[in-house]
Amino acid sequence: RPWPFFGTFLSYTKGFFNFDMECAKKYGKVWGIYDGRLPILMVTDLEMIKVIMVKECYSTFTNRRETNAGLAGPFSDGISVVKDERWKRIRSSLSPYFTSGRLKEIFPIAVTHADRFIKNMQKKDHAPPVKVKEVVAPYSLDVVTSSSFSVDIDSINNADDPFATNIKKFLKFSLFSPLFLILGMSFVSFKKYSTEFKHYRLYHFKYHEILSQSFIFILGGYETTSTTLTFLLYNLATNPDCLEKLVEEIDTNFPPDTPITYDALMKMDYLEMAINESMRLLPTAPRLERVCKKTVELNGVTIPKDTLVAIPTYVLYRDPQLWDSPDEFRPERFSPESKSEINQYIFMPFGLGPRNCIGMRFALMIMKILVVKLLQNFSVETCKETQIPLELNALFQPKVPITLKFIPRSCKAKE
């Protein structure tokens, strides 16, 4: 039962994803909650998901949650925030930057930064455990800034670089906490942002759109990609049999001193399987949201205009009716033979339909490059600081930083 003003938000203290699981078990495939005073229709019915995310995306479910312009600040013109025709225009303008041809141009840039990452790791004493996100995040940031803005900040080797330092502060600021994304409410005044960008909105609108996309690219590259990489390395380290299979595939495709090529990398089945399975088990987007633009009826459920509809992907990914042993890390479920049997509406790590993540292929490419380079040179293992099983806080972040050991393979070979 919702509380006055808070709605069902207080139930998120044990994790909004756990709350979603409890509601799904209690109410079935469709139920309602309140984020503060905002009503939300939660949907796990696959036919309804198909309509919401794909069939009626353009006509009815085009937009995401309404975000206050002052709260969004520099994000207010971002592709993930703008609506309807503006979104279509920005999306069509950005799409050419994520074609296969463009990715092949970016590929050597990403490889260069991955090589820097490896050299930096080789300088470290391999005995102490490593907080994984702290070492992979600079790689993600460097690739994004180099490929998007032609700026080589080299945060891999210069952790105190002003740009990298400010980005970290920027992302830690409460404005970008998932809490704000969930609540959609402003608890502080952002008059500074509103005043600062008012001039751009009125007279240099295109400039602010560019600024907003830049913030989105940095956020996705630095935060989302590094989090996905961290979860992947954790899942591999805690499942050594899967890790061994991946290392075998890497050694087969890229023997020692063999350069990584784009085409060969894209053909690595087990690597793709492991990434998909990790994103299923620990998704960076445990919910997807769309706003209903007009009153419609889906499967006997009337959805009023302006209702926020949410798809709790974490619930779908852990549903034993949809997945065999859903709590286990099994990359084989995404093998070429098995993947065709997976309903496309139960697995959507980058969203689904016309408004899916525009940077999906870019993110997958830079993750694959780093994983291959890393496992060519290091063995990844758990240590006493590794939390097993992994515990997540209310906002789906590890309660304890994921910590692993990276042992040079040359040392392992001598043992």
Report how far apart the first and last C-alpha atoms of the chain are (Å, whole number).
59
Task: Work out the percent of the chain whose per-residue pLDDT is above 70.
Answer: 85
Q: Are 75 and 81 in contact (CB under 8 A)?
A: yes
Q: Does 7 score more than 90 pLDDT?
A: no
In-domain check, residue 325: yes
What is the pLDDT confidence band of residue 178, given thresholds at 50, 70 and 90? very low
Structure token pair of residue 319? 């549903």
Query: pTM here?
Result: 0.89
Q: Which residues contact 226 (CB under 8 A, 6 or more apart)?
A: 133, 136, 137, 139, 140, 141
The one-letter code for the residue type at 179 is L
pLDDT digits (tens, 9 = 90+) for 200-243: 343 334 777 877 888 888 877 788 999 999 999 999 999 999 99
In-domain check, residue 4: no
357 annotated ligand-binding residue: yes
Q: Are 243 and 250 in contact (CB under 8 A)?
A: no
In-domain check, residue 3: no
In-domain check, residue 2: no
In-domain check, residue 1: no
The one-letter code for the residue type at 377 is N
Look at residue 72 in the predicted model and tell me its pLDDT: 54
Look at residue 68 in the predicted model and tell me its pLDDT: 59
pLDDT digits (tens, 9 = 90+) for 104-151: 999 999 999 999 999 999 987 666 899 999 999 999 999 998 998 888
Question: Domain of 124?
Answer: 9-414
Q: Kindly report the CATH number assigned to the domain that includes residue 297.
A: 1.10.630.10
**Range among 3-12, 62-71, 337-346 rated most confident:** 337-346
User: Long-range contacts for 317-320 (Cβ within 8 Å, ≥24 apart)?
Assistant: 317/280, 317/281, 317/283, 317/346, 317/347, 318/21, 319/24, 319/44, 319/346
Residue that is written with structure tokens 């992994």 in the block: 390
Dihedral of alpha carbons 264, 266, 268, 274, sign: positive
Look at residue 201 in the predicted model and tell me its pLDDT: 41
In-domain check, residue 160: yes
Collapsing DSSP to helix, strand or coil, 246 comes out as helix
Count of domains in the chain?
Answer: 1
Averaged pLDDT for residues 70-90: 81
Supply the DSSP string of 84-115, one letter for each residue.
HHHHHHHHHHHGGGGSHHHHHHHHHHHHHHHH
pLDDT digits (tens, 9 = 90+) for 352-407: 999 999 999 999 999 999 999 999 999 999 999 999 999 999 889 999 999 999 99
Residue that is written with structure tokens 């209702």 in the block: 307
Rounded Cα distance, 389 and 367, in Å: 24
Write the CA distances from 346 to 4, 146, 281, integer angstroms. 34, 35, 13
Question: Within its chain, how far is the Cα of 153 from the centroid?
Answer: 23
In-domain check, residue 181: yes
